[in-house]
């Protein structure tokens, strides 16, 4: 009975109730929005490593390189990467307990009027992880390079289709004719290893002029994923000139906007949720004061104290339910708007957008 009277009363007072519910919805939605957006940013920041089946990436920054030494013609190393000795790094990693598998790659750029094309030199003898892990993406299963220095290339399917290349046809790279032996089909547009093409490792070094034995990225898997922080610190101490990237440090390479969103969840829990609850209580108390005359009237006509209390509790719960429903709708709508561009802002190196 009381519930029916409360609903009829709230409908009768809709001009007062609707603004109160809208205000409460906005207050409650604010911490929800920050939590949802922060969670989405963390998922996107950690996705590259998950897709590479690796827990740690090693690379060497080229920030100290002289600008006049940078090349822009031919097939070159990315401006933001510097090659390092593959054997030297592997021998040092062998001294660290917990590193199970190691895979390397030589990332290369070709800059032309159509944009920057990314090529990856991979060693088929290495474990199926990192950029080497293209086998599940091959259009023709099992068809990979015949040797580590063969004049062959595997192209990304959409690029090949757009540019009119076909399997079995030629692809000209640095005045060298390569045979297209297969295509890869990436399922995620933000995949970190979405290169334009893949080359045998020695073919890649020969075309780029990089000495054999040099790579510019290494990918590691660990026996115990919970020791990532300890191992990353060990790696940083052992190889101070090598940048160590883990899922926890990945967000540091996001744009400033994305970093803000990434950390928003922390202060949302600490600040916005308590503030939202306090504001909610304050707004409800103001509404109750505004409607005190109705409660006094109920007591005057003989309503038991328990009924009056039930009226107050039912009113608060009903308004809270409506406010929470609208708040959830606002939160999920806002999440879609604010995270729409996050997929395109994740980078491993500044200037290398994947």
Q: Which two tokens stand for residue 8?
A: 């009829």
Q: Which two tokens stand for residue 77?
A: 């190393």
pLDDT tens, 283-325?
777 766 766 666 667 666 776 777 667 767 777 778 788 888 8
92 CB burial (10 A radius; 0-12, 13-18, 19+): middle
> Are the beta carbons of 262 and 41 closer than 8 angstroms?
yes
Degrees, nearest 5: CA angle 65-69-70: 85
pLDDT by residue for the chain (354 residues), tens only, comes to: 567 766 776 777 777 778 778 877 887 787 777 777 777 666 665 565 656 667 788 888 665 454 455 566 678 888 778 889 999 888 888 888 888 888 999 999 988 777 788 899 999 888 888 888 888 888 998 889 999 889 999 999 988 998 999 999 999 998 899 999 999 987 654 444 568 899 999 999 999 989 999 999 898 888 776 777 777 788 888 888 888 877 666 555 554 445 555 556 566 666 767 777 777 777 777 766 766 666 667 666 776 777 667 767 777 778 788 888 888 888 888 776 665 555 444 333 333 333
Q: CA dist 267 to 103, 170, 239, 274, Å?
A: 38, 55, 35, 11
Residue 108's nearest CA partner among 90, 141, 83 is 83
The H-or-E segment that residue 177 falls in is strand 176-184
> Are the beta carbons of 110 and 125 closer than 8 angstroms?
no
User: Looking up tokens 């491993």, which residue turns up?
Assistant: 348
Q: CA dist 325 to 6, 14, 17, 21, 146, Å?
A: 19, 17, 15, 10, 60
| Inter-helix orientation angle 14-51/256-267, to 10° | 120
Residue 122's nearest CA partner among 184, 220, 215 is 215
Q: Which two tokens stand for residue 161?
A: 């289709």
What is the Cα–Cα distance from 192 to 330, expressed in whole angstroms? 32
User: Looking up tokens 């990089």, which residue turns up?
Assistant: 210
User: Looking up tokens 């949720």, which residue turns up?
Assistant: 273
The distance in angstroms from the start CA to the end CA of the chain is 61
What is the Cα–Cα distance from 9 to 319, expressed in whole angstroms? 12
How many of the other CB atoms lie within 10 Å of CB of 331?
20
Residues for the chain: how many in total? Answer: 354
What is the Cα–Cα distance from 328 to 128, expressed in whole angstroms? 42
What is the Cα–Cα distance from 194 to 184, expressed in whole angstroms? 9
Max Cα-Cα span within the chain: 97
What is the Cα–Cα distance from 345 to 312, expressed in whole angstroms? 49
pLDDT tens, 52-94?
667 788 888 665 454 455 566 678 888 778 889 999 888 888 8
What is the Cα–Cα distance from 161 to 203, expressed in whole angstroms? 24
Calculate the CA 297 to chain-centre distance.
58
Residue 334's nearest CA partner among 33, 25, 116, 23 is 33
Query: Is the entire prediction scored with pTM above 0.85?
Result: no
């Amino acid at each position: 009975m009381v519930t029916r009277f409360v609903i009829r009363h709230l409908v009768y007072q809709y001009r007062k109730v609707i603004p109160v519910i809208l205000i409460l919805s906005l207050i409650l939605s604010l911490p929800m929005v920050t939590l949802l957006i922060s969670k989405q940013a963390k998922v996107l920041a950690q996705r590259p490593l998950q897709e590479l089946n690796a827990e740690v990436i090693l690379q060497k920054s080229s920030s100290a390189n002289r600008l006049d030494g940078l090349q822009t013609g031919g097939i070159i190393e990315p401006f933001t990467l510097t090659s390092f000795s593959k054997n030297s790094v592997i021998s040092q990693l062998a001294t660290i307990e917990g590193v199970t598998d190691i895979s390397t790659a030589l990332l290369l750029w070709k800059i032309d009027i159509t944009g920057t094309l990314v090529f990856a030199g991979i060693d088929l003898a290495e474990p199926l992880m990192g950029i080497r892990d293209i086998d599940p993406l091959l259009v023709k299963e099992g068809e990979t390079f015949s040797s580590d220095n063969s004049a062959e290339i595997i192209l990304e399917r959409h690029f090949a289709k757009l540019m009119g290349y076909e399997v079995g046809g030629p692809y000209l790279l640095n005045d060298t004719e390569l045979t297209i032996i297969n295509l890869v089909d990436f399922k995620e547009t933000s995949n970190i290893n979405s290169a334009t093409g893949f080359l045998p490792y020695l073919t890649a070094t020969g075309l780029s002029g990089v000495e054999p034995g040099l790579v510019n990225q290494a990918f590691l898997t660990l026996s115990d994923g919970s020791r990532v922080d300890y191992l990353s610190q060990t790696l940083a101490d052992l190889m101070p000139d090598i940048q160590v990237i883990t899922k926890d440090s990945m967000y540091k390479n996001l744009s400033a906007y994305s970093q803000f969103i990434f950390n928003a969840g922390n202060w949302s829990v600490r600040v916005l949720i308590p503030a939202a609850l306090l504001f909610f209580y304050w707004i409800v108390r103001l509404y109750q004061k505004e409607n005190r005359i109705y409660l006094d009237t109920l007591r005057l006509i003989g309503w038991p104290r328990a009924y009056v209390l039930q009226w107050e509790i039912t009113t608060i719960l009903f308004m809270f339910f409506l406010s929470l429903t609208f708040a959830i709708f606002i939160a999920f709508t806002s999440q879609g708007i604010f995270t729409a561009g996050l997929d395109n802002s994740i980078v491993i190196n500044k200037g290398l957008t994947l």
